[in-house]
Structure 1
Amino acid sequence: MTALAHPVPESPPTSRGARLRRPRVRPALAGLLVATALLYLVGLGSSGWANAFYSAAAQAGGESWEALFFGSSDPSNAITVDKTPAALWVMGLSVRIFGLSSWSVLVPQALMGVASVALLYAAVRRVGGPAAGLLAGGVLALTPVAALMFRFNNPDALMVLLLVAAAYATLRAVERGSAKWLVLAGVAVGFAFLAKMLQAFLVLPAFGLAYLVAAPVSLGKRLLHLLSALAAVLVSAGWYIAVVELWPASGRPYIGGSQTNSILELAFGYNGFGRITGNEVGSLGGAQSSGSWARLLGSEMAGGIAWLLPAAVLAFGALLWLTWSAPRTDRTRASAIVWGGWLLVTGLVFSYMSGIIHPYYTIALAPAVAALVGLGAERLWRQRANPVAAGILSSGVVLSALTAYLVLLREPDWQPWLKYFVLLLGLAAAALLLVADRLPRAAARGVAVLALVATLAGPAGYTVATAATAHSGAIPSAGPASRGFGGGTPGGGRGGIGSLLTTSTPGQALVSRLRQDSGAYKWAAATVGSNPAASYQLAADVPVMAVGGFNGTDPAPTLAQFQEYVAHKQIHYFVGTGSSMGATSGSDDAQEIAEWVAQHFTATTVDGTTVYDLTS
């Protein structure tokens, strides 16, 4: 107990160059990054457009600089996507450089995944050493929800990369009390806000607390540096908000996801506090029932993130205990605060929020889980001669094996042997860890490898299955194709809410019809909802107006505006979706437009789809 109650102060960290000169580190790091790249890139094109909603916006940005800047759904700039567009800037520029294809849209996300693993390694290595960094990077790469989202084109990939970069910069700032590094962390968080808005700010309490506690400068300087970093956050996030808010509404597209054409409403309402309270005007569903601490371990979330989540919480507690009597500036404790605070704040918000939440959101937890597992395992292994440290390490392996068993129990038709293999191997490794300090060095290393296999076999298998499955639609899910989700959107089909959330591939006759004289019109077609509009736009490569935005509940355009567009021959066709609005709030303009078109224009059927010629 003495070693735990009064831990030996950390020796000064070795320099980066010295560590990388260790003979096995460079090849191991290179192998990790190459393996991650293969995992995230091989077969990437099988997902097609993935989330066609964002692919269509990337297509628009590849054709129009205005669409790129605002994040418009179409190159004629009717309405934006319901997010700030930082992720679309990356995809749109890729489309401009390489042309429109599934690969030009998806490869940037995969490369962000590789960069996230590299940055996480660098952040953890600075405190825990190369072994901890490699383990953390490997855990992140093999987290199923990470493989899902780094092979997909939602904004989460860019947000995670920027937040890992911010964590790295924060830890660099803590080392010497550097205002420069802390400001860089603030800039990274600010741009993460431009990828996915307020969700990016959930890491700020942890980063600020770590610097306030551990930076080796006076309290006054720490507070001043934190104020500077906060200013950097506000400037790097706020410049875009200010530009869009001050831009004349008549000279830009409508701000999708808002009811008042305001990016402030989008950022702090529909995509901000509304996600916590459930008060999201224009949502297709009302507030959800209250969450609970077990939500992240439930059936929807578990497959993506649950595998090492209990072990990460245990590691966080162990790191705080191990460093309890250490000096204020102890870097291991500071690192634990950064990653543990990230995990706790984000995890609690996800667990109890009453607004829209999808399983893939949990990618925001993956870097923190991976870092805590890497730091905790390395530190406990180093102190395994102490029975308490060995007991905590053994408990972590048992927790991970049991969690994997319970997650895999929900997959009776997929690799049914794996859950028993993981459980039995985990129990055996946990028992051997209790006596590892008494074994010869080679045998002890064998036990460590055994524990590593037991811990990672479940998530690794699930991750490979996720990567081998094509994913499309608005709500992808991690896991094997045998689950029946296929990454698609629940509730799909004809009519109802589902048809607003799914995409389809239109027939060639309909594509030819949409292309007919398309150059003579500002929009070749209009249809209710962004996902149906994206399907037609991507297939025909013509501008398609998404009436009502993503949910069909934005007042854009109004019926009067739409009638004016028709009168001035700016829209050629209106494509019926058969959808009925399922929103509990928001605008009815899209429904009114669909009804007006049906009353005043003749319907024809092309490839089983209802089409109205608005110029007839």
Structure 2
Amino acid sequence: MSAAPPPARAGEPRWSRPARWAVLALAAFLNTWALSINEWANTYYSAAVLGMTQSWKAFFYGAMDAGSFITVDKPPLALWVQALSARVFGFNTWSLLVPQAVAGVAAVWVVQHVVRRGFGPVAGVLAGSALAVTPIAVVMARHNNPDMLLTLLLALSLWAASNAIRSGKLMPLVWCAVATGLAFNVKMLQAFFAVPVIVLVYLVAARPAWPRKLLNLVVAGVALAAVSLWWLVVVDLVPSSARPYVGGSRDNTVLDLLLGYNGLGRVEGQAQIMSPGMMGGGGSPGGGMPNGGMPSGGMPSGGTPPAGGVPPGGGGPGGGGMDGAGLARLFSGEVAPQIGWLYPLALFGAIAVIVHLRRRPRHDAQRADFLLWAGTLLVTAGVFTFASGIWHTYYTVALAAPLAAVVGTGVIAMWRLTRDTEWWGLLLPASIITTGLWSAHLLGQDEDFLPWMGTFVAVVSVIAGVAMTVPLLLPRERRAGKNRVIAAGALVGILASLAGPTAYAVTPLSTPVQATFPSAGPGNSGPGGGPGGGPGGGGRGMPDGTRQAGGMPPDGMSGNRPDGTRGERGERSSGEQVSPQLMRYLTDHQENETWLVAVVGSMVAAPVILETGRPVMAVGGYNGNDPTPTVEQLEQHIADGELRYVWTSGSSGVQSMGGDVDTAVVDTTMSWVAHHCPVVNPTDYGGNPTTTTQLHDCRGAV
């Protein structure tokens, strides 16, 4: 599942190699055990991968379906990996999810290796362990969202940057640029958070003379631009008539996607566009999302709040939303249990590293490594803290690797200070006590989840911290034999610190991860995804048209949320889901058309694609907001025999969200369908004649 740990260096203890293997085995276990319970996870991406296995054109563009009508709203690198896996091993839940699990284990290996090389085997094992049991890292390694591949690539870029600073050579810096460029093709602008940190640390700490350093940075910058932008340039140069519409863009270009939805719009706020992470198989049927169809934590400007309002701190589990920006975001009761168990340990540890390395020369490799990890952590956390655009809790997986590295380096620095100084040595017991109390606080947020653990962790941490403090207060000459007490207290305290995140990290092994807002811990599980596990019922739809368990109501629609309530007016949705009976009707009547049916929004299209294995046209993109197709384009598809059936909700087929969401194009197109295409008798496919959802037969309408 991952490369073997490097052999122990001369002078390393015998336990080092087995310990590193044990950490990797733990990560592999957490990332893969009962992985299939997550089924299709986020059906938006799963449907796209299925289409990419059926069409190389859809593969290249990252199209939502094999007919290549519209792309997903991210660059396709992460989907390429999943699609290649599915082409080799067949399209199933394991071929979709295992690549992320492998990326998670590989990220643990990279962090463990780099920290061990700079700060020793104890630091490496601690850093690897911290990352392996970070709840959100385990969750995203079991999910098909692209974030875990992004985490791995960014860890690889920091490793390469460390090599470049140590060696002074050009090629490691180029490899750093390549890894960052690949990360850009996973999630665009977020990949560049570490770039200013890498440049600054390289300029300060690298050994070559200034002219050579500047030249190396220029060459690496060219490599970064080439690897980052090649797909963007190629897609935007292809005539729009010869490729899919770029999902999430306002003008059908990847450049707009970069500058808007996946770029500055994330930081400055772009409320009129929702992310497909809100969709997924675990979202509410009918295109609605948990918390009333709004991004968790807030509503688009002018939007209608869901019944009952939005919970404090963001909406449902794993949300984060748009309105929670501020210093408290990463410490909130929703976010901290996913990523922040070791915040105090990292903070005290960072202080210890600064104290320990403050007199080192400018080119010191240890200090450079620490600055790379800590700088990336601070920049990423700063952007996440103040970003006013779309933001979800699971994005914090990007913090997991640098946070774990700072923890590993910090603990070993605090340990060394206990032996070298008087008062600075108290940082270690203080960090153990503070982390234990913080963990108890996080555990206490859910009184039904292991109610004894919070008290246990707090008591053990305080006892361990006090036991360490007593010998540290003695004069150094009287500490003979006391170092073992300090070491034992540190070991017990660190194990207590890891108990809370481990308890949360194991929850996804027994309950499905939410497809909409992936997160760990009590109350954060949800339907595993897919057309059954998500909208419309339980069970997993299969590309051959079969179903496992559950199913949708036999009236041709399904519009209820998992809690049984209906979607509120004002939610942006296509209204209803296509029933199994209607799917069978569509497949029985499809002839040579490219698309089985056209529906509004990807949350309606994805389950049908997964259920039938046929292309489905997602009108308006993932949430019905993208301005495609126009009436003229739809008429052309109908005239060319590429599309026959259109599934609408009400007279226009779409409900307006309000605010500044522009749905004019989709509204006009679906109104044209309602007025020009005859309605199929609902009784022909087991539907209810009284519902507002309608199937239109557009053959001959043009």
- Please confirm whether the aligned pair reaches a TM-score higher than 0.5, indicating the same fold: yes
> What do residues 97-137 of structure 1 show as CA deviations (whole Å, max 9, x unaligned)?
11111111111110110011011111111101111111111
What secondary structure sits across from 2:9 in the alignment? helix
- Indicate conservation of the 8 Å contact 2:574/2:599, yes or no: no
Question: 1:159-198 to 2 correspondence within 5 Å?
Answer: 159-198=150-189
- Indicate conservation of the 8 Å contact 2:64/2:70, yes or no: yes
Pairing partner for 1:601 from 669, 678, 686? 678
Pairing partner for 2:250 from 236, 259, 265? 259
- Indicate conservation of the 8 Å contact 1:19/1:130, yes or no: no
Pairing partner for 2:638 from 563, 566, 569? 566
Pairing partner for 1:335 from 345, 348, 369? 369
Which residue is 1:369 aligned to? 403
When residues 519 and 38 of structure 1 are mapped into structure 2, their CA distance, relative to the original with a 3 A threshold, is: farther
When residues 562 and 436 of structure 1 are mapped into structure 2, their CA distance, relative to the original with a 3 A threshold, is: farther
Count matched residues.
Answer: 600
Deviation at 1:76?
Answer: 0.6
Question: 1:499-514 to 2 correspondence within 5 Å?
Answer: 500=573, 507-514=579-586
Deviation at 1:196?
Answer: 0.3
Identity of aligned residues (%): 37
- Indicate conservation of the 8 Å contact 1:390/1:433, yes or no: no
Question: 1:130-169 to 2 correspondence within 5 Å?
Answer: 130-169=121-160
> What do residues 297-341 of structure 1 show as CA deviations (whole Å, max 9, x unaligned)?
113312211211233233223212221111111122111211111
When residues 207 and 321 of structure 1 are mapped into structure 2, their CA distance, relative to the original with a 3 A threshold, is: same
When residues 432 and 27 of structure 1 are mapped into structure 2, their CA distance, relative to the original with a 3 A threshold, is: same
Hey, what's the Cα distance between the residues in 1 that align with 2:686 and 2:436? 51
Which residue is 2:656 aligned to? 581
Hey, what's the Cα distance between the residues in 2 that align with 1:444 and 1:158? 39
Which residue is 2:496 aligned to? 454
What secondary structure sits across from 1:78 in the alignment? coil
**1:522 is the counterpart of 2:594:** yes
Which residue is 1:78 aligned to? 69
Hey, what's the Cα distance between the residues in 1 that align with 2:260 and 2:102? 32
**1:118 is the counterpart of 2:118:** no
Deviation at 1:498?
Answer: 6.3
Which residue is 2:538 aligned to? none
What secondary structure sits across from 1:527 in the alignment? strand
RMSD of the alignment, in Å? 2.5
Pairing partner for 1:476 from 518, 528, 539? 518
When residues 427 and 177 of structure 1 are mapped into structure 2, their CA distance, relative to the original with a 3 A threshold, is: same
Which residue is 1:540 aligned to? 612
Amino acid of the structure 1 residue aligned with 2:495: V
Pairing partner for 2:224 from 229, 233, 258? 233
When residues 502 and 423 of structure 1 are mapped into structure 2, their CA distance, relative to the original with a 3 A threshold, is: farther
Amino acid of the structure 2 residue aligned with 1:402: L
Hey, what's the Cα distance between the residues in 2 that align with 1:275 and 1:516? 43
> What do residues 124-156 of structure 1 show as CA deviations (whole Å, max 9, x unaligned)?
111011111111111011011101111001111
**1:614 is the counterpart of 2:689:** no
Hey, what's the Cα distance between the residues in 2 that align with 1:607 and 1:209? 65
Which residue is 2:46 aligned to? 55
Question: 1:15-54 to 2 correspondence within 5 Å?
Answer: 18=9, 22-54=13-45
What secondary structure sits across from 2:194 in the alignment? helix
- Indicate conservation of the 8 Å contact 1:532/1:577, yes or no: no
- Indicate conservation of the 8 Å contact 2:204/2:363, yes or no: yes
> What do residues 486-542 of structure 1 show as CA deviations (whole Å, max 9, x unaligned)?
6889977654576859997x6542332232243511100111111211111001110
Hey, what's the Cα distance between the residues in 1 that align with 2:485 and 2:575? 54
Hey, what's the Cα distance between the residues in 2 that align with 1:502 and 1:18? 62
Identify which range, 422-431 or 569-578, moves more after superposition.
Answer: 569-578
Which residue is 2:283 aligned to? none
For normalisation by structure 2, the TM-score amounts to: 0.81
- Indicate conservation of the 8 Å contact 1:401/1:423, yes or no: yes
When residues 18 and 348 of structure 1 are mapped into structure 2, their CA distance, relative to the original with a 3 A threshold, is: same
Identify which range, 171-180 or 366-375, moves more after superposition.
Answer: 171-180
> What do residues 410-442 of structure 1 show as CA deviations (whole Å, max 9, x unaligned)?
211211111111111111122223246645565
> Which structure 2 residue ranges, 5 or more long, are not aligned?
1-5, 275-293, 302-321, 473-478, 536-560
- Indicate conservation of the 8 Å contact 2:131/2:404, yes or no: yes
Question: 1:85-484 to 2 correspondence within 5 Å?
Answer: 85-279=76-270, 281-283=272-274, 285-286=299-300, 288-289=322-323, 291-385=325-419, 386-435=421-470, 438=479, 439-440=481-482, 442-480=484-522, 482-483=523-524
Deviation at 1:452?
Answer: 1.6
Identify which range, 172-181 or 144-153, moves more after superposition.
Answer: 172-181
> Which structure 1 residue ranges, 5 or more long, are not aligned?
1-14
Deviation at 1:17?
Answer: 5.3
For normalisation by structure 1, the TM-score amounts to: 0.92
- Indicate conservation of the 8 Å contact 1:566/1:614, yes or no: no
Which residue is 1:5 aligned to? none
Amino acid of the structure 1 residue aligned with 2:656: M
Deviation at 1:566?
Answer: 2.6
Which residue is 1:12 aligned to? none
Amino acid of the structure 1 residue aligned with 2:457: V
Deviation at 1:364?
Answer: 0.4
Hey, what's the Cα distance between the residues in 2 that align with 1:544 and 1:133? 48
**1:552 is the counterpart of 2:624:** yes
Hey, what's the Cα distance between the residues in 2 that align with 1:46 and 1:290? 31
Deviation at 1:183?
Answer: 1.1
What secondary structure sits across from 2:423 in the alignment? helix
- Indicate conservation of the 8 Å contact 1:151/1:467, yes or no: no
- Indicate conservation of the 8 Å contact 2:574/2:624, yes or no: no
Amino acid of the structure 1 residue aligned with 2:491: V
Identify which range, 33-42 or 289-298, moves more after superposition.
Answer: 289-298
Hey, what's the Cα distance between the residues in 1 that align with 2:423 and 2:222? 44
Amino acid of the structure 2 residue aligned with 1:387: E
Deviation at 1:358?
Answer: 0.4
When residues 107 and 187 of structure 1 are mapped into structure 2, their CA distance, relative to the original with a 3 A threshold, is: same
Which residue is 1:67 aligned to? 58
Identify which range, 76-85 or 208-217, moves more after superposition.
Answer: 208-217
Amino acid of the structure 2 residue aligned with 1:395: A
Deviation at 1:564?
Answer: 2.7
Hey, what's the Cα distance between the residues in 2 that align with 1:536 and 1:471? 21
Deviation at 1:598?
Answer: 3.3
- Indicate conservation of the 8 Å contact 2:249/2:257, yes or no: yes
Hey, what's the Cα distance between the residues in 1 that align with 2:254 and 2:470? 59
Which residue is 2:668 aligned to? 592
